[in-house]
Amino acid sequence: MAGQRGRSIDRSRVAVQTFAWGPAAAWAAVLFLLSAQSELPIGDLWIDVPDWAAHFGVYTVLGAALAHARFHGARRVPHVAMIALGAIYGVTDEWHQRFVPGRVPSADDWIFDLAGTAIGYGVAWLVATRLLGGGEDSNETDG
């Protein structure tokens, strides 16, 4: 009986972590697929999206997904570490573009990746903790 209980707890923990980190992992996969394209279909949209805005926008979503991960499963990880995770992913994304024909890595793009990550994370965290009732550390101010 004790063995079954242990497995149940492990499954529960896996489910919680999957729920917490799933959106960030899925969005990182989307970013990887976009980054692997030689030419993005953004020009086919009814509006012309500047490159900096596209970087900022897609990394805002990543930042929000990272806030979701911390809120639901990584409470002990400092906020700055979660944002750094998004920034590091942005660096790897720019490096990856180096190997894609027609794409070039850019420090300017990475700055907008970082800004989008930080803004998306901050806004999502504030919404989760202030508007939705954030739980045990909703008043924390750690970095």
8 compared with 99, residue with greater pLDDT: 99
**CA-CA distance, 103 to 97, in Å (whole number)?**
5
How far is CA 65 from each of CA 76, 105, 120, rounded to the nearest angstrom? 17, 24, 8
Per-residue pLDDT of 36-58, as tens digits, reads 988 776 656 656 788 899 999 99
Our measurement of the distance from residue 89's CA atom to the centroid of its chain's CA atoms, rounded to an integer in Å, reads 9
Instruction: Name residue, tokens 């729920």.
Output: 19
Taking the CB of residue 105, how many other CB atoms lie within 10 A of it? 15
Per-residue pLDDT of 115-138, as tens digits, reads 999 999 999 999 999 887 765 554
Handedness of CA 40, 45, 50, 56 (dihedral sign): negative
C-beta separation of 40 from 34 below 8 A: yes
Binned at pLDDT 50, 70 and 90, residue 11 comes out as confident
Q: Calculate mean pLDDT across residues 14-31.
A: 93
C-beta separation of 119 from 61 below 8 A: no
Our measurement of the distance from residue 24's CA atom to the centroid of its chain's CA atoms, rounded to an integer in Å, reads 5
Structure tokens that stand for 15 in this block: 């489910």
